[in-house]
């Protein structure tokens, strides 16, 4: 009898645990669903791996479905981004009068999924993409700033310092694009190959040794990352596909510049001042990084 009673107690305790767990789970769903309330203006984020194709929607919440996803009325958005996979169009309750049926008007507009109609449709968006308006704006501004810094490095902006690139590394961590950090580290090392600690530009022959260290670093990355190596040596790159992989995208852009600039240094004057062993290693590393021309 005692054994049976013990088993009942265990089962009862398990049932209590399961019930409490289920209630907590339901509570978490309710909290998630009510994170933003009807009437709030929110930011819907669609970040892109290459940053330049980042897209967003600013909208006012008009409803919340059972799954906790949001129905919103569009206020502002990035035109040109394909929202077809991200939004489900829904009729607004108060559709303006029209000679044709409101249903036809709305769905005709949605044929172009790069344009979000503001009058006839509301859109259902995933809760995971919805952010506080100010937080979303700040995040996307920071991402754009990072893209500008990287672009300034690529264009050899004279006032861009290695310290600014070092700061950009931290900003990348804070802006949820830590995958860009390795490319920024290469950019920083590249910058330091051309300027000394006092920001004095090096003579051409002085750049060979630090650039050779940078090429060694790149080759080391290839040893660690076979996919990156294959992408680099591929005779034809699909940048659209690569743009979904932030790390590869920015690393390939960075390595492109590093190798091109290193090759250019071979045509500068006074290279006879370079240590012959360093120059030999430099040329050999450039040869190892030589890509096959497109057929």
The model's pLDDT over 42-85, given as tens digits with 9 standing for 90+, comes to: 999 999 999 999 999 999 999 999 999 999 999 999 999 999 98
Residues 4 and 86 in one domain: no
Residues 113 and 184 in one domain: no
CA–CA distance, 158 with 160 (Å, rounded to integer):
6
Q: Is residue 147 part of a domain?
A: no
Residues 11 and 80 in one domain: no
Residues 166 and 272 in one domain: yes
Q: Is residue 148 part of a domain?
A: no
Which ranges in 1-90 belong to alpha helices (H)? Answer: 2-33
Residues 172 and 90 in one domain: no
Domain that residue 6 falls in: 1-30
What is the pTM (predicted TM-score) of this model?
0.80
Residues 264/193, Cβ–Cβ less than 8 Å: no
Q: Is residue 119 part of a domain?
A: yes
> Residue 87: pLDDT band by 50, 70, 90 thresholds?
very high
Residues 168 and 255 in one domain: yes
pLDDT digits (tens, 9 = 90+) for 173-188: 887 889 999 999 999 9
Q: Is residue 124 part of a domain?
A: yes
Residues 7 and 50 in one domain: no
Indicate the number of domains in the chain.
3
Residues 56 and 173 in one domain: no
Per-residue pLDDT for 223 more than 80?
Answer: yes
Residues 87 and 23 in one domain: no
Q: Is residue 13 part of a domain?
A: yes
Residues 52 and 22 in one domain: no
Per-residue pLDDT for 14 more than 60?
Answer: no
Residues 185 and 237 in one domain: yes
Cα atoms found within 13 Å of the Cα of residue 262, Cβ hemisphere only: 30
> Residue 196: pLDDT band by 50, 70, 90 thresholds?
confident
Q: Is residue 140 part of a domain?
A: no
Mean pLDDT within 17-43: 58
Residues 279 and 239 in one domain: yes
Please give the pLDDT value at position 101.
59
Please give the pLDDT value at position 268.
96
Q: Is residue 139 part of a domain?
A: no
Domain final residue pick, 132, 147, 165: 132
Task: Calculate the average pLDDT of the chain.
Answer: 86
| Burial of 287: CB neighbours in 10 Å, binned 0-12, 13-18, 19+ | exposed
The DSSP 8-state label assigned to residue 128 in this structure reads: G
Q: Is residue 220 part of a domain?
A: yes
Per-residue pLDDT for 21 more than 50?
Answer: no
Domain final residue pick, 80, 98, 132: 132
Q: Token pair for residue 216?
A: 């060694």
How many other CB atoms are found less than 10 A from the CB of residue 121?
21
């Amino acid at each position: 009898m005692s054994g049976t009673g013990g088993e009942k107690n265990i089962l009862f305790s398990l049932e209590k645990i399961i019930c409490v767990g289920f209630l907590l789970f339901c509570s978490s769903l309710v909290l998630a669903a009510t994170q933003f309330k009807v009437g709030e203006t929110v930011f819907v984020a669609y970040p892109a791996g290459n940053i330049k194709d980042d897209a967003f929607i600013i909208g006012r919440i008009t409803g919340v479905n059972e799954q906790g996803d949001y129905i919103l009325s569009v206020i502002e958005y990035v035109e040109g981004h394909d929202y077809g996979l991200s939004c489900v169009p829904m009729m607004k309750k108060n559709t303006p009068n029209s000679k044709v049926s409101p249903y036809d008007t709305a769905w005709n507009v949605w044929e172009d999924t790069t344009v979000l109609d503001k009058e006839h449709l509301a859109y259902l968006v995933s809760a995971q993409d919805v952010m506080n308006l100010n937080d979303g704006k700040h995040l996307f501004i920071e991402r754009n700033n990072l893209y500008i810094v990287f672009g300034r490095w690529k264009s050899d902006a004279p006032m861009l310092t290695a310290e600014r690139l070092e700061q950009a590394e931290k900003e990348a961590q804070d802006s949820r694009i830590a995958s860009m950090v390795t490319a920024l580290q290469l950019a920083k090392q590249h910058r330091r190959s051309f300027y000394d600690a006092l920001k004095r530009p090096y003579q051409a022959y002085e750049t060979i040794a630090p650039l050779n260290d940078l090429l060694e670093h790149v080759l080391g990355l290839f040893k660690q990352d076979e996919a990156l190596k294959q992408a680099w040596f591929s005779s034809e790159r699909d940048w659209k596909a690569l743009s979904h992989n932030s790390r590869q995208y920015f690393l390939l852009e960075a390595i492109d510049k590093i190798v091109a600039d290193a090759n250019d240094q071979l045509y500068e004057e006074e290279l006879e001042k370079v240590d012959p062993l360093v120059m030999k290693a430099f040329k050999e590393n450039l040869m190892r990084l030589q890509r096959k021309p497109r057929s």
